Amino acid sequence: MTPAINLLKKKGISFDVLSYQHDPSHQQFGLEAVEKLNLPAEQVFKTLVLEDADHQLLVAIVPVSQQVNLKLLAKAAKVKKVQMAPQQKVENTTGYILGGVSPLGQKKRLNTYVHQSADSFDVMYVSAGKRGLEIALAPKDLCSLLNASLADF
């Protein structure tokens, strides 16, 4: 059990857990999930933690096959600029290790932005909070739980 799975159970949200054997030498965690679970890359989303110019953290949930456009994300978040947050800050704030950061069940609730492409799917996949563990759920449920904004970034 992870905090993400516990949160979904507590809230009564419908979801599935998929697991695979994580290869420690594989550094593209989201793409590893795509390969090992045989999932469409556009439906598997990575959770990125970024910080703005004031060092405030925010979360971007984007397809694993894409990069975040930092300027568009900053515009969606209504800040001047964003950059990737330092690893230690990410892990301390979320309670998860890199490669296993779930958007759900983080220690501190952060403003969250979900790539608008998620809205075109019935199911999306995000980290369950541990490398080798994914959660399948409806994008509307994820956005609702996180009070997240859909945006193009």
Ranges in the chain, pLDDT < 70: none
Please provide the DSSP assignment of 92-123 as one string.
HHHSS-TT---SSS-SS--EEEEEGGGGG-S-
Is the CB of residue 33 less than 8 Å from the CB of residue 134?
Answer: yes
Give the DSSP H/E element, type plus range, for residue 5: helix 3-11
What pLDDT sits at residue 148? 97
Positive or negative torsion for Cα 150, 22, 66, 56 = positive
Residues 129-146 have pLDDT tens digits of: 999 999 999 999 999 999
Q: How many domains, in total, are found in the chain?
A: 1
Average pLDDT across the chain, whole number: 96
Positive or negative torsion for Cα 123, 153, 80, 52 = positive
SS3 content of the chain, % helix, strand, coil (to 5): 35, 30, 40
d(CA 43, CA 64) in angstroms, rounded, equals 8
d(CA 60, CA 39) in angstroms, rounded, equals 21
Residues 49-67 have pLDDT tens digits of: 999 999 999 999 999 999 9
Q: Look at the pTM and tell me if it is higher than 0.75.
A: yes
What pLDDT sits at residue 139? 98
What is the CATH classification number for the domain harbouring 97?
3.90.960.10
Place of tokens 């397809």: 63
Give the residue numbers spanning the domain of 50: 3-151
